[in-house]
């Protein structure tokens, strides 16, 4: 069994099958919980274009994705499949921030390993629910743009923290409560409970992003609020979209100034 975190990250990103990736993630978290995980610099970091993805699902432009009318079983399956795809890529994103950005404090790596473990659990829960509904992950097409942000920020940890946990994942804090409500309205309590588990965990994930973003800003004598919007301006493709869940974003480390500025930019 591999015990060095960077070796495990390398395997998850470049070699393992889906089931192996989930198993390695679980094993790494168990090693960390038992204080048996090694965090030692390994081989040279491979370029991000070497990261390996499976051939399934077929990736398409957002406009080509199936519609998600939650009043129908087909629509609920389409929504859950989209969530499964986001969670699958979130496993990659957590492992990539561990693998690509070295010389950080040990707690940095333990935090993102915790995120990877959570995302793997989320993915498995959604896949199990899809199978209960007569489908599975990979049977529908999926959004092909989720990895672009990682590629664009592969050289810049501050930008990665701003764009992934503090923008992409934070959008989940805005959108998921509405999904939960609609699932319950249509009588799908089982799916609603899984989505509630996900949004509860995502608050902590975004909070990790906020913590490390602020930490790096302090080291570099940067104003965190200004640095956040500088990163969005430089790297974000497309427009900022609302509405924003003030309560959950504050729990996840956003300031009132940041939320108010996001709302202004989204108008």
Distance from C-alpha of 248 to C-alpha of 177, rounded to nearest angstrom: 10
The lowest-confidence range among 46-50, 98-102, 138-142, 260-264 is 138-142
**Domain-by-domain residue ranges, the chain?**
81-266
| Cβ-based neighbour number of residue 14 at 10 Å | 12
Record: fold of 81-266? Ferritin (1.20.1260)
Give residue 76's pLDDT. Answer: 95
Distance from C-alpha of 229 to C-alpha of 266, rounded to nearest angstrom: 13
| DSSP character at residue 65 | S
Interior/surface letters 219-258, b for 16+ CB within 10 angstroms, e for the rest: eeebebeebbbebbeebbeeebeeebbeebbeebbbeeeb
Q: Identify any residues that bridge with 142 across adjacent strands, giving them in sequence order.
A: 59
Helix (H) or strand (E) run with residue 167 in it: none
Write out the DSSP string of 92-160: HHHHHHHHH--S--HHHHHHHHHHHHHHHHHHHHHHHHHHHTT--TTSS-EES-TTHHHHHTTT-HHHH
Give residue 41's pLDDT. Answer: 83
Left if phi > 0, otherwise alpha if psi is -120 to 50, otherwise beta: which for 221? left
236 CB-side CA count, 13 A: 19
Give the rounded percent of residues in the chain with a pLDDT score beyond 90: 85
Average pLDDT (155-177) is 97
Give residue 238's pLDDT. Answer: 85
The lowest-confidence range among 17-31, 47-61, 123-137 is 47-61
What are 58-72's pLDDT values in tens digits?
A: 888 777 776 677 889
Average pLDDT (66-93) is 91
Give residue 66's pLDDT. Answer: 67
Is pLDDT at 186 greater than 70 in this prediction? Answer: yes
Average pLDDT (154-163) is 98
- Measured over the CA atoms of residue 223, residue 224, residue 229 and residue 233, the dihedral's sign is positive
Distance from C-alpha of 96 to C-alpha of 47, rounded to nearest angstrom: 11
Backbone angles phi, psi at 266, to 5 degrees: -80, -10
Distance from C-alpha of 190 to C-alpha of 130, rounded to nearest angstrom: 11
Write out the DSSP string of 28-63: HHHHHHTT--B----SPPPPGGG----S-SPEE-GG
Of 94, 138, 126, the C-alpha closest to 5 is 94
Average pLDDT (178-198) is 97
Pairing mode, strands 59-60 and 142-143: parallel
| Predicted TM-score (pTM) of this structure | 0.96
Average pLDDT (113-128) is 98
Chain centroid to Cα 10, Å, comes to 18
Average pLDDT (27-39) is 97
Average pLDDT (139-167) is 93
Backbone angles phi, psi at 92, to 5 degrees: -60, -45
């Amino acid at each position: 069994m591999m015990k060095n975190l960077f070796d495990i990250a390398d395997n998850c990103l470049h070699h393992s099958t889906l089931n192996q990736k989930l198993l390695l993630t679980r094993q790494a978290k168990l090693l960390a919980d038992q204080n048996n995980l090694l965090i030692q610099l390994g081989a040279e970091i491979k370029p991000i274009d070497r990261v390996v993805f499976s051939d399934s699902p077929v990736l398409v432009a957002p406009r080509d994705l199936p519609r998600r009318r939650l009043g129908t079983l087909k629509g609920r399956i389409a929504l859950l499949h989209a969530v499964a795809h986001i969670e699958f890529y979130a496993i990659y994103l957590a492992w990539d921030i561990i693998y690509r950005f070295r010389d950080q404090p040990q707690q940095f790596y333990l935090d993102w390993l915790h995120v990877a473990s959570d995302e793997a659990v989320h993915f498995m829960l959604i896949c199990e629910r899809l199978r209960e509904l007569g489908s599975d992950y990979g049977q529908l097409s999926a959004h092909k743009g989720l990895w672009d942000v990682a590629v664009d920020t592969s050289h810049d940890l501050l930008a990665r923290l701003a764009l992934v946990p503090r923008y992409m994942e934070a959008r989940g804090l805005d959108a998921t409560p509405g999904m939960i409500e609609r699932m319950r309205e249509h009588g799908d309590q089982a799916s609603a409970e899984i989505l509630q588990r996900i949004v509860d965990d995502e608050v902590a994930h975004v909070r990790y992003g906020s913590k490390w973003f602020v930490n790096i800003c302090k080291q570099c004598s940067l104003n965190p609020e200004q640095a956040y919007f500088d990163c969005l301006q430089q790297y974000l493709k497309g427009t900022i979209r609302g509405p924003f869940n003030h309560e959950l974003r504050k729990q996840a480390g956003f300031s009132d100034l940041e939320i108010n500025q996001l709302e202004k930019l989204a108008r």
